């Protein structure tokens, strides 16, 4: 492929609107130094010298889509809390729209805090709940997606599933059908929990671990027969149009 062809491909990205539906979170980082052990337990004390919050999950995928030149529109549920407000500020800072974001007081915003010292990842603290969103929130989210599809020319719909409860079976099935009825390709980066809910999707992109866990099978990536057999079983279960497995 010539550089001219590559330039043409990336130029075409500038005209694309991509709807991203999935779990949004904050990736929080603390960097520091260890100078002593705690007198309360056999653990190191990290003196924090720097903090940073970044967009994570489906919001990070939106940033990647934006970096390619396309226009991502993110749809998700976050909490009506300090961290939820931080998500909105981070979206604004990155020039990403929050028109598809719904805040709800019944669910905390997912925050994953990584503590790094001596060039090592010492600890991660997760603040989250992983239960599915309520049926009323499902309706609000689906209606928001429908509103955006009516007001914007959407070229693709991307599902980003991190098992945090936003992508329920109902949301997945209804949005895939919405995409099919509007001739919009649908793409999924799945997790095990909802693995078999993505029937009739356009592009299905599990990694090898997700393929094995989602289908409860063993696949040897070094054996072509084993790998092809696993992909055939996957296609039979999901009925996707294309696949990407690595």
Residue that has been written with the tokens 């990842």 in this structure: 121
Residue 133 per-residue DSSP state: P
Nearest to 31 by CA among 45, 56, 52: 52
Report the alpha-carbon distance of residue 80 to residue 107 in Å, rounded. Answer: 8
Does pLDDT of 197 surpass 50? yes
Mean pLDDT of 136-144: 97
The mean pLDDT value for 205-213 works out to 69
**What is the average pLDDT value for the chain, to the nearest integer?**
88
pLDDT at 10 over 70: no
pLDDT digits 0-9 by tens, 43-73: 999 999 999 999 999 999 999 999 999 999 9
Distance CA 25, CA 116 (A): 19
Q: What is the pLDDT, as a whole number, of residue 9?
A: 62
First to last CA, the chain: 22
Domain boundaries, the chain: 3-167
What's the confidence (pLDDT) of residue 22?
97
Please name the fold of domain 3-167: 3.40.1190
């Amino acid at each position: 492929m010539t550089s001219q062809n590559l330039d043409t491909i990336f130029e075409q990205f500038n005209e694309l609107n991509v709807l991203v539906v999935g779990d949004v979170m904050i990736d929080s980082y603390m960097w520091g130094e260890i100078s002593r052990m705690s007198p309360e337990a056999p653990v190191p004390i990290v003196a924090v010298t720097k903090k940073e919050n970044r967009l994570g999950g489906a919001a990070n995928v939106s940033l990647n889509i934006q970096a390619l030149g396309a226009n991502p529109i993110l749809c998700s549920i976050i909490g009506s809390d300090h961290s939820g407000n931080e998500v909105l500020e981070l979206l604004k800072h990155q020039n990403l729209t929050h028109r598809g974001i719904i805040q709800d007081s019944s669910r905390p915003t997912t925050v994953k805090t990584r503590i790094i010292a001596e060039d090592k990842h010492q600890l991660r603290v997760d603040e989250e709940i992983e239960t599915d969103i309520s049926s009323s929130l499902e309706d609000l989210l689906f209606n928001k997606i429908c509103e955006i599809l009516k007001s914007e020319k959407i070229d693709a719909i991307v599902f980003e599933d991190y098992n945090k409860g936003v992508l329920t079976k109902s949301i997945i099935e209804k949005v895939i059908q919405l995409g099919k009825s509007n001739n919009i390709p649908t793409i999924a980066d799945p997790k095990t929990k909802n693995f078999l809910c993505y029937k009739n999707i356009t592009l299905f992109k599990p990694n090898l671990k997700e393929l094995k866990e989602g289908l409860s099978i063993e696949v040897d990536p070094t054996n072509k027969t084993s790998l092809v057999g696993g992909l055939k079983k996957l296609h039979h279960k999901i009925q996707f149009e294309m696949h990407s497995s690595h």
